[in-house]
Amino acid sequence: MSVSIIGLGKIGTAIISHLLVLGEEVRVWNRSPAAVETMVALGAVPLSDVRDAFTSELVLSILFDDAAVREVITHEAIASATGRDTLHVCLSTLSPSLADELAMAHRSAGLGYLSAPLFGRPEAVEQKAANICVAGDPILIERARACLESFGRVWAVGDEPRQANVAKLCGNFLIGAAVAAMAEATSILSAENADADAFMNLMTETLFASPIYKNYAPSVTGARPLPASGLALPIKDMGLLTTIAAQSQSSSRLLKALCDSLSRAQELGFGAQDWSTALGRSARIASAV
Amino acid sequence: MSVSIIGLGKIGTAIISHLLVLGEEVRVWNRSPAAVETMVALGAVPLSDVRDAFTSELVLSILFDDAAVREVITHEAIASATGRDTLHVCLSTLSPSLADELAMAHRSAGLGYLSAPLFGRPEAVEQKAANICVAGDPILIERARACLESFGRVWAVGDEPRQANVAKLCGNFLIGAAVAAMAEATSILSAENADADAFMNLMTETLFASPIYKNYAPSVTGARPLPASGLALPIKDMGLLTTIAAQSQSSSRLLKALCDSLSRAQELGFGAQDWSTALGRSARIASAV
């Protein structure tokens, strides 16, 4: 099977390495040429035009955000492959509305499309331990499965591509709610002069012994802050999810409280920090609701 | 060391069995006599008056709630032991204000007092796997440690007894926030016709692979509801924590959202159910906010 990869960031290059080991023909396209040369040295075939990627049986794209996808995966590029039996699996974390738009453009051109946002950092992809949240036609999911399983575990959540993008936002919401709850609980304990870190140790070694709580708790309390990554992305994601919840009149009290807490943290000047540090510091500034 | 146990519910009797194996003299008191007879058959010494419990070096009490503690551990019972070197470790889940009151009454009588609410069901205590959240004078904690470690792990969170009671409420809040966030996320996914159970499987086997999420997720989605336990206790606990947060002007947006969601679930007629079932069902009733 011929596979094309669009986007040679850390995750894209990690995927290519796995596919080359499997002996697949891997064709690569990237905006900047340096990453292409590295991959060609490993055995990949360079593409000079992104449209050529869509002549492969399978196209994996892994680009930064909506804007990058709109720039690279143009309607014109998709239409150029009309009539081919191409399947495009979009691994980027995109808005559900862009996923809808892409699904429609591919359908019009007779191509297959799946949304498959990843949970997992580049190191997880290197270790074949990514978690790939997929949605779209089940037959297409089976066509892509072997390739996707070369770098992670496949979790199908629905048959409409956008459902995977909503699921990715919901996953981020569960993380944000956990972080915001830890921020409130530990700020109450700190105000009581109790040992908030000892409390979080108890929690993260027992009831909440999972990666998210273990990773974020010391950053929330300030014991070991995570590297600054900024509130812009979480605020954007939670805003998107709020719109989606409103469309279906779904319950969203906690989501609203999380959005308000993020805005408050930004107002307090913590906009450049990781959300765990920002929500933790903001909660410790006594000011009620 | 002589130990008295006040309260022979499932947890009390499990603790006594461990202490008897250690060869301690264990004296027991209970409101109803049947449980006393069972423990006497195992080698415990029955007490006819709760005041006699306070003549032991160590007293462990494990009673149902504030009301039961007020009825049994009277100021008169505490005062009767004035001048003895008794240490009372209260394992019940109490309000922080009752913990303050008990701490003061013991101090007036010259007795030691620790708050040590348990995380863990009776089976955990049977398996010596309880998690005991302790606060009070560190010297007293060391005096109680060997006895407490006969049935679980000791986590010290502060040197004022009430801090352990606040920590227990904060632990319950982390659980409630996790449950409410799962309810909102999975109701959004259900409204999108996505597979909410598949999404929660992804989450609980990766980022949120911890007892709380694994245990509650299938109940939130309705796939495997937990036994009905009612909203009265969680509503009471979260109300207590709200008062505590307000006293220190701590941030409590998520806590308020959780309280509102619990009230809403009760209004919808789910007051008898477990909070996971109630919040899940309530969130799936489309009605926004």
> How do residues B132-149 score in pLDDT, each as one tens digit?
999 999 999 999 999 999
d(CA A207, CA B270): 25
Which architecture, in CATH terms, is A2-159?
3-Layer(aba) Sandwich (3.40)
Q: Using the beta-carbon criterion (under 8 Å), do A251 and B183 form an inter-chain contact?
A: yes
Averaged pLDDT for residues B90-119: 96
Query: Who among B167, B208, B255 is closest to A189 (CB)?
Result: B167
Q: Is A109 on the interface with B (CB under 8 A)?
A: no
pLDDT for the residue A286 = 63
Tell me if B86 sits within 8 A of B140, measured CB to CB: no
Q: What are the start and end residues of each CATH 3.40.50.720 domain in chain A?
A: 2-159
| Residue B287, pLDDT score | 60
* All residues at 6 or more sequence positions from A156 whose CB lies less than 8 Å from its CB, including other chains: A134, A135, A138, A141, B195, B198
Which of B72, B68, B66 lies closest to B50 in space, CA to CA?
Answer: B72
User: How confident is the model at residue A261, as a pLDDT?
Assistant: 97
Cα–Cα distance between A111 and A117 in angstroms, integer? 19
State the average pLDDT for chain B: 95
Q: Which pLDDT tens digit goes with each residue over A96-113?
A: 999 999 999 999 999 999
User: Is B244 touching A (CB cutoff 8 A)?
Assistant: yes
Flag whether pLDDT at B286 surpasses 80.
no
Q: Can you list the residues of chain A whose pLDDT is less than 70?
A: 286-289
- pLDDT tens digits, one per residue of A18-40: 999 888 899 999 998 899 999 99
DSSP conformation class of A85: -
Q: Which CATH class is domain A166-284?
A: mainly alpha
* Integer Cα distance of B223 and A23 in angstroms: 42
Kindly report, as residue ranges, where domains of CATH 1.10.1040.10 are found in chain A: 166-284
Quick one: pLDDT at residue B22? 85
Distance of alpha carbon A197 from alpha carbon B157, whole angstroms: 8
Give the whole-number percent of chain B exceeding pLDDT 70.
99
Whether the predicted pLDDT of B289 surpasses 70: no
Which pLDDT belongs to residue B149? 97
Beta-bridged to residue A4, according to DSSP, are A27, A59
The three-point CA angle B257-B260-B263 to 5° equals 150
| Among A residues 7-66, those touching chain B with beta carbons less than 8 Å apart | none
Q: What is the Cα A52 distance to its own chain's centre?
A: 26
**Length reported for chain A:** 289
Distance (Å, whole) CA B76 – CA A193: 31
Straight-line distance from the first to the last Cα atom of chain B, in angstroms, rounded to the nearest whole number: 57
- Report chain A residues whose CB lies below 8 A from the CB of B165: none
DSSP state of B6: E
